[in-house]
């Protein structure tokens, strides 16, 4: 297929309810569009309903003889609000384009991928856990350091009911007390942040990341 080339175009918006083409991204094989078809949480969007919200649909096309043909099982309404920031919409298109291009090259069925991607939302791309939040969480005892439950030694980070490895060899070899005493606070914050960011960007770990987001927000609010 040669080198992938990206192109982007964005149509002027005329309000959150404006139906039609919004934004597109393509390479030499696949194109993905954001499209506002006037859809809401349950079918058509009803602006008079305060509990409804205008959601975007994505459409996928495959290049056939230099013509963009709609892909079977390539059109899904999502959880991406129509008023989402363009930067996040573009990040979402980049993810969709990558996943559909990989599936297309491997001749994989698109229905499973489409069902998964229909859940795409701004929360997938927002860096909801900041270094300041981590720093504050450590000080309040919401983010804790405990021994690795699997071997009863070393140091892992625990947030709520879940824990994870971080800090490399130093954390593996030192007790929680030694680790906190020997490693500068900012280095600890950065190690946790980088680990959580890797969770956020990993499809298989996104649910765990969202658990940490929710737990930190709720407990820091209560502690405040």
Domain membership of residue 76 (yes or no) is yes
Q: How many CB atoms lie within 10 A of CB 188?
A: 22
Calculate the dihedral angle through the C-alpha atoms of 61, 23, 127, 208, rounding to the nearest 10 degrees: -30
CA 153 to chain centre: 32
- The pLDDT, as a whole number, for residue 163 is 96
Domain span at residue 146 reads: 131-223
pLDDT band of residue 204 (cuts 50, 70, 90) is: confident
The sign of the dihedral angle between the CA atoms of 62, 66, 69, 75 is positive
41/111 same-domain check: yes
Domain membership of residue 190 (yes or no) is yes
Domain membership of residue 2 (yes or no) is no
- The pLDDT, as a whole number, for residue 126 is 67
Residue 88 neighbours by CB under 8 Å, 6+ apart: 122, 125, 126
Per mean pLDDT, which range of 147-161, 167-181, 194-208 is the poorest?
194-208
Q: How many domains does the chain have?
A: 2
167/89 same-domain check: no
Whether the pLDDT of residue 201 is over 90: the answer is no
The sign of the dihedral angle between the CA atoms of 213, 140, 142, 221 is negative
Render pLDDT for 147-166 as a digit per residue (tens, 0 to 9). 999 998 999 999 999 999 99
Query: CA–CA separation, 79 vs 100, rounded Å?
Result: 18
Helix (H) or strand (E) holding 213: helix 206-223
Render pLDDT for 18-69 as a digit per residue (tens, 0 to 9). 458 888 999 999 999 999 989 999 888 999 999 999 999 999 999 988 899 9
93/159 same-domain check: no
Whether the pLDDT of residue 6 is over 50: the answer is no
């Amino acid at each position: 297929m040669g080198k992938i080339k990206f192109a982007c175009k964005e149509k002027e918006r005329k309000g959150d309810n404006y139906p039609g083409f919004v934004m597109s991204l393509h390479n030499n094989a696949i194109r993905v569009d954001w499209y506002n078809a006037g859809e809401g949480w349950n079918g058509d969007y009803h602006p008079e309903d305060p509990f409804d919200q205008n959601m975007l649909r994505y459409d996928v096309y495959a290049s056939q003889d230099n013509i963009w043909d709609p892909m079977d099982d390539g059109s899904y309404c999502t959880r991406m609000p129509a008023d989402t920031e363009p930067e996040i919409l573009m990040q979402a298109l980049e993810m969709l384009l990558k996943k559909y291009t990989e599936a297309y090259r491997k001749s994989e069925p698109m229905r499973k991928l489409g069902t998964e991607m229909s859940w795409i939302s701004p929360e997938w791309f927002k860096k909801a856990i900041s270094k300041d939040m981590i720093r504050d969480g450590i000080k309040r005892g919401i983010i804790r350091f405990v021994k690795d439950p699997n071997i009863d030694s070393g140091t892992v980070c625990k947030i709520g009911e879940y824990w994870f490895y971080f800090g490399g060899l130093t954390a593996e070899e030192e007790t929680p007390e030694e680790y906190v005493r020997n490693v500068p606070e900012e280095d600890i914050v950065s190690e946790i942040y980088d680990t959580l960011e890797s969770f956020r960007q990993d499809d298989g770990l996104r649910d765990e990341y969202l658990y940490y987001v929710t737990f930190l927000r709720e407990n820091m609010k209560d502690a405040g």
